[in-house]
Amino acid sequence: MRIFFKTLFFTVLFVSVACGKTLKDFMKTYVEKQYPEYKVLRVSAPNLQVDEKSKFKVSLESSDRYYLRFKVFGYFNGKEEVVPVSVRVVKLKNVVVAAKDILPGELITKDLLKLKRVSEFKAGNAFSSINEVSGKRAKRLIKSERIIKFTDVEPDYKVFKNTPVKVVYESGAIRIEMMGLALQNGALGDIIEVKNISTGKKILCKVVGNGVVKFMH
**What domains sit in the chain, N to C, each tagged with a CATH number?**
3-90 (3.10.129), 92-154 (3.90.1210.10), 164-215 (2.30.30.760)
Apex 29 CA angle, 27 and 35, nearest 5: 90
Q: Assess contact for 171 and 217: CB atoms under 8 A.
A: yes
Condensed to tens digits (0 to 9), the pLDDT of residues 44-84 reads 999 888 766 677 899 999 999 999 999 999 887 778 889 99
Give 7's contacts (C-beta < 8 A, 6+ positions apart).
none
Condensed to tens digits (0 to 9), the pLDDT of residues 153-190 reads 999 999 999 999 999 999 989 999 999 999 999 999 99
The predicted structure's pLDDT at residue 52:
60
The predicted structure's pLDDT at residue 80:
85
Q: Cα(164)–Cα(196) distance, rounded to whole angstroms?
A: 10
